[in-house]
Amino acid sequence: MEFTAREIAAFLGGEVEGDQNVIINNVSKIEEGEPGTLTFLANPKYESFIYETKADVVLVNRTFKPDKPVKATMIKVQNAYDSLARLMDLYVQSLPRKKGIEVPSYVSSKATYGEDAYIGAFAYIDEDVKIGKNVQIYPQAWIGRGTVIEDNTIIYSGAKIYPETKIGKNCIIHAGAVIGSDGFGFAPQEDGSYHKLHQIGNVILEDNVEIGANTTVDCATMGSTIIRHGVKLDNLVQIAHNVEIKENTVMASLTGIAGSSTIGKNCVFGGQVGVAGHIEVGNNVQLGAKTGVKNNIKDGQTMMGEWAMDVRRFRRVYAVFKNLPDLYHDFYTLKRNLEKK
């Protein structure tokens, strides 16, 4: 598909600076821009590339003021990154969608599916599964008994959805994700062995949730593990039994949330964050990469560190920590000199 800069600006509500009639048919990274492509500048550290890029069109924030002439046509928008996301939506929506049931696959006679649904080859759809309109289930996915998948959700290849899972509208579950596997529950015995505590709850994913590749969300011991509206989980994230993650929280790769913890709304977790069990994290909390959380966190805090602390205190602690060898040397030298007197 081809678009002019003027057409793109009209769609985004932006302003064109440069050739309104230049045509683009693809996108590129700003440092690797090619003629006929559109790119974007959202992070100031990439600004130097805008003066060199060969891309014909660049999305920039309205506040951007170049230090020297820009050869490319600029489209000024309120938020360049968000505008790029909207353009990507337009592109994806223009792609043809698969429909129907491929052979071989298994769809129980007791399962139902809505208009324009797609079930790929070698997928397994168990009894009493309810699949909504425009749902896409790719090859080799496994959907367990009694699961409900609402309209416009995508289940990619190899995903495993355990029985009685509830998945809302417009969700995306990437390849290899496992939703509803057993929580980690074992009762210690007097002889040192462990007796399995069967997990009889389920998982609920509300609307507009995205689950990354090879991420696992465990079912509840009793009741439900709940992932609320708009939550985005990266690849290789572990969510344990009876956890609740509230609206519009995002978690980067290798984050792990232990059982029965509650995570608030609009939180941002960096990679490798670990949250202990039975913890409450408030709304609008930000945790830096590798932060360890063993205590409750109040609303609006930004924290870092192996044992989470306020980010400003963490930076002061780290400033001292990295100088400990020199400080120890100075202390030891001072002590030795005092002992000689």
Confidence category of residue 45, pLDDT binned at 50, 70, 90:
very high
3-state class (DSSP) for residue 44: helix
Whole-number mean pLDDT of the chain? 95
CATH 2.160.10.10 correct for 100-314: yes
Kindly report, residue by residue over 288-326, the tens digit of the pLDDT. Answer: 999 999 999 999 999 998 878 888 888 888 888 888 888
Q: Do domains 3-94 and 100-314 have the same CATH topology?
A: no
The single-letter code of the amino acid at 142 is: W
Separation of CA 171 from chain center: 12
Instruction: Tell whether the model's pLDDT for residue 131 goes beyond 80.
Output: yes
What ranges do the domains of the chain cover? Answer: 3-94, 100-314, 317-341
Kindly report, residue by residue over 145-165, the tens digit of the pLDDT. Answer: 999 999 999 999 999 999 999
Q: Tell me the average pLDDT across 218-222.
A: 97
Contact 258, 294 (CB under 8 A): no
H/E stretch holding 65: none
pLDDT of residue 199: 94
Instruction: Give dist(CA 40, CA 80) in Å, integer.
Output: 6
Examine the residue annotation and report whether 278 is marked as an active-site residue of this protein. no
- Candidate list 195, 241, 278, 329, residue with the active-site label: 241
Percent of the chain whose pLDDT exceeds 70: 99
Q: Minimal CA–CA distance to 37: which of 108, 96, 105, 87?
A: 87
Class of the domain covering 3-94: alpha beta
pLDDT of residue 328: 84
Instruction: Give dist(CA 326, CA 274) in Å, integer.
Output: 32
